[in-house]
Amino acid sequence: MDIVREKNELIMAVPSYLNFDHAGYKWKSDIDYRSHPKEYRVGKGEQGVLICQPYKSEILPFWRFKTPEIAKESSEKIYQLFIEYLENEDFVGADMARKYLQMGFTRARRYTNYKGGKKYDASNNYRQLERGTGDIEKAKSADYFYHRWQEAEKHPVYSELKKEWKKNIG
């Protein structure tokens, strides 16, 4: 995000997704990452989560956080997929499931912090909207995803595979 100064106040000019570099993005929607796992990069945070097939199609249908009950069920199902990917020695699938758990947390927190989950006001030069206006119930949803995400991150098999993958592949 670009940073500008207005009246001695630092503000973000536009969200980075408005200037997104599709060509330079490491993850591609036309690659089957199960058939070509060495094309996969771990990256930072949730990168590639809505692109990498076939994992997107396998995990996304279970990704929900509308209510705490739905979020609990969703995070448990995605964590179950995470374990299944590990059992099948599919690091890419496990990493993608981990990313969906992380994304469940971050998106639910966004809806907790901002009414309607909208962080920027497109009609006002993408000025960041006021925090604390969101749905407090989403904080409970975020907690379910957070705990499963942390459980996945600390899983000993996953941790070792991730370390090796980053060292050898990227």
**Which tokens in the block code for residue 138?**
């989403």
**pLDDT, averaged in runs of 10, over the chain (170 residues):** 50 63 81 96 91 97 97 98 98 98 96 88 85 87 98 98 95
For the stretch 90-93, contacts whose Cβ atoms lie closer than 8 Å and that sit 24 or more positions apart, written own/partner, are 90/34, 90/37, 91/37, 91/158, 91/161, 91/162, 91/165, 92/33, 92/34, 92/37, 92/40, 92/52, 92/55, 93/34, 93/55, 93/58
- What pLDDT sits at residue 147? 98
What one-character DSSP code corresponds to residue 32? B
CB 17 within 8 A of CB 8: no
Would you say 131 and 57 are in contact if contact means Cβ atoms under 8 Å apart?
no
Q: What size, in residues, is the chain?
A: 170
The model's pTM is 0.84
**Confidence (pLDDT) at 167:** 95
pLDDT for residue 120 = 86
Residue 4: its pLDDT value, please?
A: 47
